[in-house]
Amino acid sequence: MHVDPQRVTVVYPGVGPQFRPMELTESEPFWQTMKLPERYLLFVSTIEPRKNLPRLLEAYAHVRQQIGNLPLVIAGRKGWMYDEFFQAVEQLGLTQHVRVLDYVHDKALPSLYNRAWAFVYPSIYEGFGFPALEAMACGIPVLTADNSSLPEVVGDLAVLVRAEDVSSIAAGLERIVGDEALRERLRAGGPERAHAFTWSHAASQVLALYRELGRSAA
């Protein structure tokens, strides 16, 4: 846009304090209400082409037995052009292995994240990637794509895959489920990484910028 980089200040958004590791007893009421399995893979977002769900389903179908038949839970409303997702579920024979929850309220999301075995989010493009950060804040191992803003958000505390490569997503699923040393590192480091993205920090940065601009204009 031919703008001097010195005139640009980046202020990252934040993740709410409700997204945190929880004791099993704390997440139990939601889990019981939703009748979820003990372990599952989780995806949270609107069902639309940008989220790359058909490729995630194809990769999941390839490795489902290798990863212990973990069910895939999808939490999100139907967006635009969602038919391809439901067609893929049927065509790949995953009707009994994929559960669609529709919208889940923010008050319940932390429990949903905390009960997941891993969070899987190979999106084609993200302006920021809140769901990946929310999962990290809850101490859940994250798989996401190596594109757009996502690597900048997750750093080295996620399994990065190529969003348009089904084999890359499949290999990532096997790693995020089966590599216990990796899972432990991601569980331990995720909340600390997420703590760098807070709304109070964002607000203080904006306030500091206003003050700086005020002094410059005086």
**pLDDT (0 to 100) of residue 168:** 98
pLDDT confidence tier of residue 217, bands split at 50, 70 and 90? confident
**pLDDT (0 to 100) of residue 75:** 97
pLDDT tens digits for 124-142?
Answer: 999 999 999 999 999 999 9
Nearest to 123 by CA among 23, 53, 193: 53
| Position 87 pLDDT exceeds 80 | yes
145 three-state secondary structure:
strand
pLDDT tens digits for 146-177?
Answer: 999 999 999 999 999 999 999 999 999 999 99
| Position 218 pLDDT exceeds 80 | no
Classify residue 75: in a domain, yes or no: yes
| Position 72 pLDDT exceeds 80 | yes
**pLDDT (0 to 100) of residue 93:** 96
Classify residue 155: in a domain, yes or no: yes
Averaged over 95-106, what is the pLDDT?
A: 93
Averaged over 93-117, what is the pLDDT?
A: 94
| Position 34 pLDDT exceeds 90 | no
| Position 44 pLDDT exceeds 90 | yes
What pTM value is reported for the model? 0.94
The CATH number of whichever domain residue 90 belongs to comes to 3.40.50.2000
Pairing of strands 72-75, 142-145: unpaired
Domain count, the chain: 1
Classify residue 6: in a domain, yes or no: no
Classify residue 10: in a domain, yes or no: no
Classify residue 171: in a domain, yes or no: yes
172-186 burial: b if 16+ Cβ within 10 Å, else e: bbebbbeeeeebeeb
- 117 forms beta bridges with none
| Position 1 pLDDT exceeds 90 | no
Residue 93 belongs to what domain range? Answer: 18-217
Q: Rounded mean pLDDT of the chain?
A: 95
| Position 59 pLDDT exceeds 90 | yes
**pLDDT (0 to 100) of residue 23:** 93
Classify residue 34: in a domain, yes or no: yes
**pLDDT (0 to 100) of residue 32:** 82
CB 62 within 8 A of CB 166: yes
Classify residue 138: in a domain, yes or no: yes
Strand order in the sheet with 118-121: 98-102, 72-75, 41-44, 118-121, 142-145, 159-161
**pLDDT (0 to 100) of residue 35:** 87
